[in-house]
Structures are given as structure tokens and as C-alpha cells.
């Protein structure tokens, strides 16, 4: 019997027909990343139900030398969940690990499987009068395991931190099949390294997350969402500082976008409309939110914040959502950007950060600089200004052929953006991870000490390179 047949026989006996498939039609949707930039092949799709079965499967893969590519909702932006073209790897989906094991308002904690979708977690928390304080545009697909493995950010980092800040405990299957279990959180635990931190943001290269214990917060009582027109992104930064001075305890979100981006959202999403009657070069979407204790004063404080901003000439045009439907419509303009940009044609997307206080200045410099160096392109920046993180996209000149353009001029564009970011003391991956997209750039620009540690940890925990090969950890220099 061929070795691959032997593997299938043993894996099928372990997982059953629901847990393992080689049906190409069932595999096909999961072999291309969300952005449509990478397509790979796989020997099969495995969907174990729990950590015990996964542990046995990992041992089986180790025995047969089969690499494993973990995948959650496949909403990642860096090609981390897409296997390579060899067809040697097993695609490992966590979708069946979708149980919420416990959710307690007393301890403000939830323990759930890695395959639970973010939106489902939000709904489960809401039913208990709680909330999970992390959200992003891909919430209908992104899973808890994927969010942990990319240390995802989103639109509430300003107030609540990234995914790392929400994680109290973790369970994961390691490359040797051992189950690492720290699901029961301890307030104090000084037995050396905090091992779960290694797995957070490791993009499936050190272990496969199977479950997590996460912190919850009391539900918000009310919120005020506003959309503000501005002349410059530096003006948005001044307005943010004003908000951080005047309403620090209410400031839940502060996102920026240029006119070009708003127009692409309006063109792509039916039913959307420009919230302001006049056009502006820049916009800020601001959310102020209060719990029960702050409910009575939120209107007075929102008014004071806006009138103070008007008096200081920090804004000239703004609208406030009158109800939840309008608030959701304003957020839809922000959450709909990724899909709208994707429909515009080829673009090089960069998820970058520089020190928070320098980001507005960086955008004002880098935007015209990129358009000058690469005539015919359009550079746009949008997102999380308050975190010093924007999505800096350079859209291809008209007529560019998808696929070809990215490999040629697109690659030169990304190198230039990453060089600029590095010169400004920033990061080439603020929240989307490295995946396969930025692996060689991390190798080119990462500092030697960090690269040494990254490679050493990978070698120690996955000596045979079984877990998500070709992702995140740059190859050794020749």
C-alpha cells in the first residue's frame, strides 16, 4: 500500500467521513485566500472535533511527514491559511471546534472552541448582558483561533487593546502532539515564561489553537456615533487628541478614511449614502460609548466635545447618528472598505504602523511620494489612526493585469513602502500578520536579533517544520 493510502486509511479511521475529505469540490473554496491573491493545493481537508483527535492526527502527520496548514475562517489578509502549490500539505480546519463551553457573567469570562466565529461570540456575550471588546470587518467569518493566531486588532484597540489583551487562557496542540492547556486562568502564575504568549500571533507555525478563555466586559448601555469631515489627516490627529483629553473614558473608536475610499465604498455597497452634504478630503468616524453609570451624561458630554472642537476650529462639518440604525449605517461605511477596495482592481495592501504621534505626518509624506515614484498609481490610507496603524493601499494604474502587476511593479511598490515604514521606526505588519505575503520582507528588514530568536523558537518547538511551513518565519539566509 502507498504511504499516502496508509495515511488516509488511518486518518479516516480517526476522524470519520465528516472529519476528513479529499473531495475537490469541498476543498476548493478553502484553497484561495480571502483577497484572492494566493491559491494552493492540499492532499485533504481535515476537520477534527476536539483537541484529543487533533493530537492523534498531528502524530499521524508527523509519522508520515505531512505538513499541516491550520485554517479558521480564511479571512486572513496575508495568505497565512493558504497551502503552497505542491499539494503535499493537509489543510486543517477548526470549523467543527465551535462550542462555547462556558460563559459566565460572574467571572466575566468565556471559554470556547477555536472555531467559534467572532460574530457568534458577540451574540452569546450579548445574551448574557456582556460584550467581547474586539471587533473587525471580517467578524462574520473570522474565528477565535484565527484571531488569536494573528493577534488581530480591529476598531476597538484604542480602548481595549489587541486580541492578546483579551486572552486569559489557551489550549493548543503542539507539533509533537502534546496538548498545552492553560485554559483555567490564574491571576498570579510565575512558573517561568508565560507560554501562551508565544502562541498568540504565531500564525499556526508553533501550535494549533483548539480553545481559549477570554475576558468579557459589561454590555454598553448606549453609544453616540458621529461622522466628521476634515481637510487633512493631521487635522484628524488633532481631533483625536481633543477627544482623548475631553472624553477619554467614552472614546470607543476613532477611524479615518480619505474621500477616495469613501467614494469607493459608496460605489460598491448598494444602499449606502454620503453622510455629509459637502465633500471633504478626509473623514473621521468616532464612537463614544457609556455603560449604565455614564448613560445619563453621554449627550451632554458629546455636545461639549463637539462644541469644544468647533470652537478650536478642529472641525467644520459633522453628523451624529440619531439612532442605532444610523449608527450601524455609519459603521458599515468603515467595515465595507475591504470589500470595496478589492472590487477596484489590483492593489498592493500594506498594514503598517509607525509611532502613534507620527502617523498623520507619515501619511502626508508617503501618499504623494508613492504616487510620484510610481506614476498612474493612487495611494490611499485608512483605518486606526489612534493606534498608529493605517492600511496603506497603492492601487494599480488603470489597465494593469491582476496577477502580473503584483509580481512586477507591485513588488517594487511594497518594497518602497516597507523601506519608508522602517525608516520611520515602524512595523510592516501592524495587525494582519506576516503569512506568506510579507515573509521575505521580514527577512529583508527584520533586525538580526529578532530573526535569530524567531528562527530558534520555531526550530525548538517544530524541529521538522511540520506546522504551516513557508509562513511567518523567514528562511535562513543562503
Residues that bind ligand FAD (CB under 6 A): 34, 69-77, 80-81, 94, 114, 136-138, 141-143, 145-147, 149-150, 152-154, 203-204, 208-209, 338, 431-432, 435, 468, 471
Distance CA 26, CA 22 (A): 8
Taking the least distance from each CB to ligand FAD, the nearer of 204 and 410 is: 204
Q: Which is nearer to ligand FAD, 19 or 137 (CB)?
A: 137
Residue closer to ligand FAD, measured from CB, 71 or 377: 71
Do you know the residue count of the chain? 478
Which CB, 40 or 154, lies closer to ligand FAD? 154
The CA-atom distances, in angstroms, between 276 and each of 279, 304, 320, 330, 386 are 7, 21, 10, 11, 23
Q: Which residue has the cell 513602502?
A: 417
Q: How far is the CB of 35 from ligand FAD (least distance, A)?
A: 8
State how far the Cα of 149 lies from the Cα of 197, in Å rounded to an integer.
10
Least Cβ distance, residue 77 to ligand FAD (angstroms): 5
Nearest-approach distance from CB 205 to ligand FAD, in angstroms = 8
Q: Which residues pair with 255 in a beta bridge?
A: 285
- Grid cell digits, residue 15: 476522524
Measured from the CB of residue 452, what is the shortest distance to ligand FAD in angstroms?
22
For ligand FAD, the closer of residues 114 and 360 by Cβ is 114
DSSP single-letter state for residue 427: B
Give, in order, the Cα–Cα distances in Å from 455 to each of 322, 448, 475.
52, 11, 8
Q: How far is the CB of 209 from ligand FAD (least distance, A)?
A: 4
Q: Find, among 69, 57, 67, the residue nearest to 10 by Cα.
A: 57
Is 250 buried (19+), middle (13-18) or exposed (0-12) by CB count in 10 A?
buried
Shortest spacing between CB 372 and ligand FAD, in angstroms: 29
E-only strand ranges, 193-273: 207-215, 217-218, 222-230, 251-258
- Which residue lies nearer to ligand FAD by CB, 209 or 379? 209
CA 116 – CA 447 distance, rounded (Å): 36
Distance in Å, CB of 454 to ligand FAD, minimum: 15
Q: Which is nearer to ligand FAD, 10 or 32 (CB)?
A: 32
C-beta of residue 379 within 8 angstroms of C-beta of residue 370: yes
CB of 220 to ligand FAD, least distance (A): 19
- Can you point out the beta strands (E) in 364-472? 378-384, 389-395
Angle between helix 298-311 and 233-246 (nearest 10): 140
The closest residue (CB) to ligand FAD is 146
C-beta closer to ligand FAD: residue 46 or 142: 142
C-beta neighbour count of 328 within 10 angstroms: 12
Residue 69 CB, shortest distance to ligand FAD, in Å, is 6
Q: Shortest approach of ligand FAD to residue 431 CB, angstroms?
A: 4
- Specify the residue, 121 or 315, whose C-beta has the smaller distance to ligand FAD: 121
Cβ 118 to ligand FAD shortest distance, Å: 8
- At residue 441, the 3 state secondary structure works out as helix
Do the beta carbons of residue 385 and residue 256 sit within 8 Å? yes
- Smaller CB separation from ligand FAD, 93 or 302: 93
Distances (CA, A) of 189 to 133, 192, 213, 439, 465: 25, 8, 16, 34, 31
Q: Which is nearer to ligand FAD, 379 or 473 (CB)?
A: 473
Helix (H) or strand (E) holding 111: strand 109-113
Nearest to 458 by CA among 441, 438, 439, 437: 439
DSSP annotation of 292 reads: G
Amino acid at each position: 500500500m502507498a504511504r499516502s493510502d496508509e495515511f488516509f486509511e488511518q486518518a479516516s479511521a480517526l476522524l470519520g467521513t465528516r472529519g476528513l475529505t479529499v473531495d475537490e469540490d469541498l476543498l476548493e473554496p478553502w484553497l484561495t485566500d480571502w483577497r484572492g491573491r494566493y491559491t494552493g493545493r492540499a492532499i485533504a481537508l481535515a476537520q477534527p472535533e476536539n483537541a484529543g483527535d487533533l493530537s492523534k492526527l498531528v502524530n499521524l502527520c508527523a509519522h508520515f511527514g505531512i505538513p499541516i496548514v491550520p485554517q479558521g475562517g480564511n479571512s486572513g489578509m496575508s495568505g497565512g491559511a493558504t497551502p503552497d502549490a505542491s499539494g503535499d500539505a493537509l489543510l486543517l480546519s477548526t470549523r467543527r471546534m465551535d462550542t462555547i463551553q462556558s460563559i459566565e457573567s460572574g467571572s466575566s469570562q468565556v471559554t470556547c472552541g477555536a472555531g467559534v466565529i467572532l460574530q457568534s461570540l458577540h451574540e452569546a456575550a450579548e445574551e448574557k448582558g456582556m460584550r467581547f471588546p474586539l471587533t473587525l470587518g471580517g467578524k462574520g467569518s473570522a474565528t477565535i483561533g484565527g484571531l488569536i493566531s494573528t493577534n488581530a486588532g480591529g476598531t476597538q484597540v484604542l480602548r481595549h487593546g489587541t486580541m492578546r489583551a483579551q486572552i486569559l487562557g489557551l489550549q493548543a496542540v503542539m507539533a509533537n502532539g502534546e496538548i498545552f492547556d492553560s485554559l483555567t486562568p490564574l491571576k498570579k502564575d510565575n512558573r517561568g515564561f508565560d507560554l501562551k504568549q508565544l502562541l498568540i500571533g504565531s500564525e499556526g507555525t508553533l501550535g494549533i489553537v483548539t480553545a481559549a478563555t477570554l475576558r468579557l466586559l459589561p454590555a454598553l448601555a448606549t453609544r453616540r456615533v458621529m461622522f466628521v469631515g476634515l481637510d487633512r489627516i493631521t487635522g484628524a490627529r488633532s481631533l483625536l487628541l481633543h477627544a482623548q483629553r475631553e472624553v477619554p473614558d467614552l472614546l470607543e473608536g476613532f477611524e479615518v478614511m480619505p474621500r477616495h475610499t469613501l467614494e469607493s465604498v459608496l460605489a460598491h455597497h448598494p444602499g449606502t449614502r454620503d453622510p455629509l452634504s459637502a465633500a471633504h478630503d478626509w473623514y473621521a468616524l468616532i464612537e463614544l460609548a457609556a455603560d449604565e453609570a455614564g448613560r445619563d451624561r453621554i449627550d451632554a458630554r458629546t455636545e461639549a466635545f463637539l462644541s469644544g472642537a468647533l470652537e478650536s476650529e478642529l472641525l467644520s462639518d459633522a453628523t451624529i447618528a440619531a439612532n442605532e440604525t444610523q449608527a450601524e449605517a455609519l459603521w458599515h461605511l468603515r467595515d465595507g472598505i475591504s470589500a470595496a477596495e478589492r472590487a477596484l482592481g489590483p492593489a498592493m495592501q500594506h498594514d503598517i504602523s509607525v509611532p502613534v504621534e507620527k502617523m498623520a505626518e507619515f501619511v502626508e509624506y508617503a501618499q504623494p511620494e508613492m504616487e510620484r515614484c510610481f506614476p498612474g498609481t493612487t495611494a490611499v490610507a485608512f483605518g486606526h489612526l489612534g493606534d498608529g496603524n493605517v492600511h496603506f493601499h497603492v492601487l494599480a494604474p488603470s489597465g494593469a493585469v491582476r496577477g502580473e502587476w503584483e509580481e512586477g511593479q507591485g513588488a517594487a511598490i511594497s518594497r518602497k513602502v516597507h523601506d519608508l515604514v522602517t525608516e520611520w521606526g515602524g512595523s510592516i505588519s501592524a495587525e494582519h500578520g506576516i503569512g506568506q505575503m510579507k515573509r521575505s520582507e521580514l527577512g529583508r528588514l527584520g533586525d538580526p536579533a529578532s530573526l535569530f530568536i524567531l528562527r530558534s523558537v520555531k526550530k525548538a518547538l517544530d524541529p521538522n517544520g511540520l506546522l504551516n511551513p513557508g509562513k511567518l518565519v523567514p528562511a535562513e539566509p543562503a
